[in-house]
Structure 1
Amino acid sequence: MLLEVRHVTQYHYAEPVRESVMEVWMQPQKGIRQRLVSFELELDPAAQLFSYADPFGNAVYHFDVPQPHDRLNIVARSAVETQTPPPLPDALDQGEWDRLRSDFVRGENFDFLTHHGFAIETQALRAYVAQHQLDELRRRDPLSAVRRLSETIYSSFGYEAGVTRADSPIDLALKAERGVCQDFAHIMIAICRSWGIPARYVSGYLFTDRQAGDRSDPDATHAWVEVFLPSTRWIGFDPTNNVEAGERHIAAAVGRDYNDVPPSRGVYKGEAESQLAVGVSVRRARAALTEPEFIRIAQPSFSRSGRRRGPSGGIAYDQQQQQQQ
């Protein structure tokens, strides 16, 4: 499937700020089942782009806008050819648990076995596991257990934007029994890691199909989970939509949790209030690529607690894209 993505990010400042320094994780990955045809970033004000690979192998672009400005627009355009992954077996043998406990698997996947950031065990998570008898799933093989876990998260949570924020702990979604893709991914990751199954957060996009039962927002970024099983390697599960990750999923970056791979993150110097607007459009390449149907007004992109002294002594505020995935 050939897909085109347009991801628009707009920062607006109440008055000119002196400088912005930003990083973005928006380039789709290159892989066997995902071929990156093209990628470009358009910046306004214009700035020189640099790039590097982060510790997880993701492509990160960064730039500096040193002159005063009252807005910052980032437009990322991608064309990606995806393929349907090979079908997974119905089950694996029970020996897969032993293979997961091997020193090699644990050593190679240490980062994705350790609770971190938003994907952590809490009292509320343990209560959720007990309520749904999820630890009983460990009597099954790992693949069947993960598959059933994804189904349980899908059926036990309602999808609703605005209940949580990008920086909300999982306990908020667990208490409300509602949330968005990011929340469900963190909950699933934390449970998988508690079982000894390496799990990582995937940030990207989804070509939404309402007829297939997708409930995630078609005009937003998306997030799902990949787990590592020695017999299958990394495989993706989308607990938001109760599907295995397939040709409609476009992976942009992987990490331990959302904080490793936000779509954009940076700082600016100045006292001005800021506002963030985001729009995403994912379309088949044969169709005319249009502007996003709407621009989502997100939460203010910084908090006063993010205030700190910049290297030159000026005031800098952290700003991070707050549109939830």
Structure 2
Amino acid sequence: MKLMVNHQTHYQYSETASNSIQYIKMMPQTDGHQRVHSWDFSIPGQYTTQKDAFDNFWVTSTQRYPYQQLTIMVQGIVEIDPHCEVAMQKSALHPSIFLQPTAMTMCNREMLAFAHDYVKHMTRAEFQNLAAAVLNYIPYQPQVTEVHTAAIDVFKAHQLGGVCQDHSHVFIAMCRGLGVPARYVSGYLYAPNLLHLASHAWVEVYLEKMWYCFDISNQIFTPHSHIYVAIGRDYYDVAPVRGIRERGGVETMHSVVQVLPC
């Protein structure tokens, strides 16, 4: 299945900004699950491309001029295998790297007890049951959390809900609390009948020497509609855009993402 991705991120500033640096991770790679036919990006200023410690493509862009608007755009065509059971198996990193707790994925006693209620024999089916329980406990609800809201805080305020990032952080925290490696994945999702579309986050869990997909927000457990862009320990390892700047006042951001069959 071929999918066309169009991702635009628009920034506006209340005052003139300058001397900014943007760290961008919005470039998928070809592997056994997906083939990148084309991928173009438009980034203001000068930029360099390299790979990070997790083998993700990483673009560093600098703007050495005054501005009040900034737009980053990527567009491309990616073909994915809808029958693929697993994805992105090749990695130079040992799975134990993804047992490391981070500030976003700490697991407290209540969360661990919650996980133990559903996972007793470390099987894929039991982790799917845990995924369903997490979504039931933390219903999908946009605009109630922020990008820096940690898993423990989401779990405590579960009745308010959360989004794919929150579901992923909570699930990763529980998996690691159980002693099972889990990693955060950013990318794109094509699923026309679901609410949580386009730019997306999900989890991969290392079971029986394989990395398995756990899309908590949509209860999808194979990557048949997913385009992989970056992997890491949590959101901060794979954030599509992060940066610093001089001045600029108040920043507002608007993002438009389309994932369409072609």
**Is TM > 0.5 for Structure 1 vs Structure 2?**
yes
Q: In the TM superposition, what whole-angstrom CA distance separates every residue of 1:224-260 from its partner, at most 9, and x where no partner exists?
A: 00011234x1111101011113221111100000011
1:1-325 alignment runs, 5 A limit: 1-43=1-43, 46-87=44-85, 108-122=94-108, 126-130=109-113, 132=114, 134-174=115-155, 175-177=157-159, 178-210=161-193, 214-216=194-196, 218=197, 221-231=199-209, 233-285=210-262
CA offset at residue 42 of structure 1? Answer: 1.1
**Aligned pair in 2 of structure 1 residues 145, 249: CA closer, same or farther (>3 Å)?**
same
Equivalent residue of 2:153, what SS? Answer: helix
**What root-mean-square deviation, in Å, do the aligned CA atoms of Structure 1 and Structure 2 show?**
1.8
Partner AA of 1:57 in structure 2:
D
Larger radius of gyration: 1
Aligned pairs, how many?
A: 254
Query: Which TM-score applies when normalising by structure 2?
Result: 0.90
Q: In the TM superposition, what whole-angstrom CA distance separates every residue of 1:18-70 from its partner, at most 9, and x where no partner exists?
A: 22211111111321011111111113xx3232111000000011111111111
Q: Which runs of 5+ in 1 are unaligned?
A: 89-106, 286-325
**Aligned pair in 2 of structure 1 residues 83, 271: CA closer, same or farther (>3 Å)?**
closer
In the alignment, the residues of structure 2 paired with residue 2 and residue 271 of structure 1 have an alpha-carbon distance, to the nearest angstrom, of 40
**Aligned pair in 2 of structure 1 residues 262, 86: CA closer, same or farther (>3 Å)?**
closer
Q: Looking at both structures, which has the greater relative contact order when contacts are Cα pairs under 8 Å and sequence separation is at least 6?
A: 2
Equivalent residue of 2:130, what SS? Answer: helix
Query: Which TM-score applies when normalising by structure 1?
Result: 0.74
CA offset at residue 186 of structure 1? Answer: 0.4
Equivalent residue of 1:179, what SS? Answer: coil
In the alignment, the residues of structure 2 paired with residue 109 and residue 87 of structure 1 have an alpha-carbon distance, to the nearest angstrom, of 19
Equivalent residue of 2:46, what SS? Answer: coil
What percent of counterpart residues are identical? 31
Q: Which runs of 5+ in 2 are unaligned?
A: 87-92
- Contact kept, 8 Å, 2:2 with 2:78, in 1: the verdict is yes
**Aligned pair in 2 of structure 1 residues 87, 111: CA closer, same or farther (>3 Å)?**
closer
In the alignment, the residues of structure 1 paired with residue 217 and residue 24 of structure 2 have an alpha-carbon distance, to the nearest angstrom, of 24
